[in-house]
Chain A
Amino acid sequence: MIDALWGWPPPVLDPAGPYADKVTTLAWALFGMGVVVTAIVCAALWLAVRGSPRMKALIGGERTIWIGGIAFPGVVLLGLLVWGLTLTASLTQPIRGDEMRIRITGEMWWFRVQYLNADGDIVMEDANELHLPVGVPVVLELEGADVIHSFWVPHLSGKKDMIPGRRTLLRVQADRPGEFGGLCAEYCGSQHALMGFVAIAHKESDWQTWFDDRTTRVARTEMLAETAPPDAMPYPGDAAAYPMELGTLERYDARRGMRLFMESGCAACHRIAGTEANGLAGPDLTHVGSRRSLGAGILPNNRGTMMGWIGDSQSIKPGNRMPSYDVLSAEDIGHIAAFLELQK
């Protein structure tokens, strides 16, 4: 997420869809008008100090106040207001009801993402990632679970608050495939700065394939039964064996990881569809293995960061609601990470 927010041009000046485009156009117009007015004021000031007596008399009269102080700003501001409202009218267009809908809930300090069907039922749940098809307007239902957060993906739209007890709607659309970083834009507690998000725009057909694959996913638990038991795995532990290629060594047992996940308390807060893990307090981990990042857009997703997060998330994001599982052995943490990696 952090990467997706850097770069040139800055995301706010690099709209990737029609709604962000309008915000950017308006911003440039206001900036341009500001430059013009500042130039006029500076020129008038220069003439008032250094100009000829005739010029001083010309700009010193009451007429200048009427024209430059009342008529000009009145016309310009009114014009900008009317033009700006017309330009951005589509941002606040009423929702037709047949749009694709995704509910995003701000929690301390991550984003819950729920894909809804036409009836408003949740068909798939994810966290800190929004996948959307290119060229299709998507209505985001924004909510706050605890305090006020604000949803902002600068490439796609302006900011919109996520308020507890109230649902706000935001329309977004991406016109080109890509990954667009986002973040919480309303101070929401000590780890507000580490509350990131990424929106990923796919070509429409790719998105449909992705969505079908996700919604028809069966838990990756059956697959676990097919893996060899850990003692049967070769263990090339000798220094003589290096350098070895990654993937040749798998000493972690994902099946054991699953059991640990269910028994150590993970399942009380996290849900994995198709298993008995059905906790709702924390992020849904059904697809955690395919996420771009961990910890709400803040860490790359690999075995090492996963183990670091499970074992001591409090040192990474102090105050987050997941306790550091340093009561588990390193081996147990490795097994759980191996299990979670399979949850694509």
Chain B
Amino acid sequence: MTSSSLMAGLRDHPNEIDRMGRFAAMKRVGVASAIVLGLLSACKNPIGSRYEPDDAAQERGLLAINEAGCAACHEIPGVAWPKGRLGPSLDGFDDVGMIAGQLPNRPDLLAVFIRNAPSVKRHTTMPAMPVTQSEAADIAAYLYGLDDD
């Protein structure tokens, strides 16, 4: 079929042009969304940092950290002093695998661990700490918000 006969055929069936145009448009949308999805998935952080806490919670978290004295045992970015070494450093916590090497990395579980570690990890060195539930959630937000890369 030559191009002229195709054009002639299309002229005879005007609906065909419409259908092809729609197909092209759909194809463009498909490509575009594939690109967007591709970009999005490229931006996606590793599993440990998918949780994006809000700034206000992080600020409150840092205050609570200082009030409870967490840094007596942990090196914590954003806390200039002390940098206690009895417990692990919390530097780069957003990239950590399991909480305390044992618990699923979930914000709610981290908050429970911060408040009452022995309740979720039997033989942990870390004792229950005098923070409220919301303070513990804020501290978890602060730790997940640490992004040094």
Contacts and interface: CB of A to CB of B under 8 A. Distances in A.
Given A243-B115, A305-B69, A315-B86, A237 B122 contact: yes
A307 interface: yes
Contacts of B5: none
Contacts of B122: 235, 237
A242 B85 CA distance: 28
Interface in B71-88: 72-73, 82-87
B119 A303 contact: no
A315 B120 contact: no
Contacts of A235: 122
Contact of A311 (B86, B103, B116, B129): B86
Given A307-B127, A309-B72, A337-B127, A251 B86 contact: no
Contacts of A330: 124-125
A175 interface: no
Interface of B is mostly: loop
Q: How large is the interface on B (under 10, 10 to 19, 20 to 34, 35 or more residues)?
A: 20 to 34
A330 B125 CA distance: 5
A334 B122 CA distance: 13
Given A242-B112, A243-B133, A308 B120 contact: no
Contacts of B83: 315
Nearest to A193: B81
Interface in B39-85: 67-70, 72-73, 82-85
A303 B116 CA distance: 12
B130 interface: yes
A9 interface: no
Interface in A286-330: 298-300, 302-305, 307-309, 311-312, 315-317, 326, 330
18 contacts: A237-B119, A239-B103, A242-B112, A242-B119, A299-B72, A300-B67, A302-B130, A303-B128, A304-B72, A304-B73, A305-B73, A308-B69, A308-B73, A308-B86, A311-B73, A315-B86, A330-B125, A334-B127
Given A239-B120, A305-B69, A311-B73, 19 more contacts: A242-B120, A244-B119, A249-B119, A252-B127, A299-B72, A300-B69, A302-B69, A302-B129, A303-B127, A303-B129, A308-B69, A309-B72, A312-B73, A312-B85, A315-B85, A316-B84, A330-B124, A330-B125, A334-B127
Interface of A: 235-237, 239, 241-244, 246, 249, 251-252, 298-300, 302-305, 307-309, 311-312, 315-317, 326, 330-331, 333-334, 337
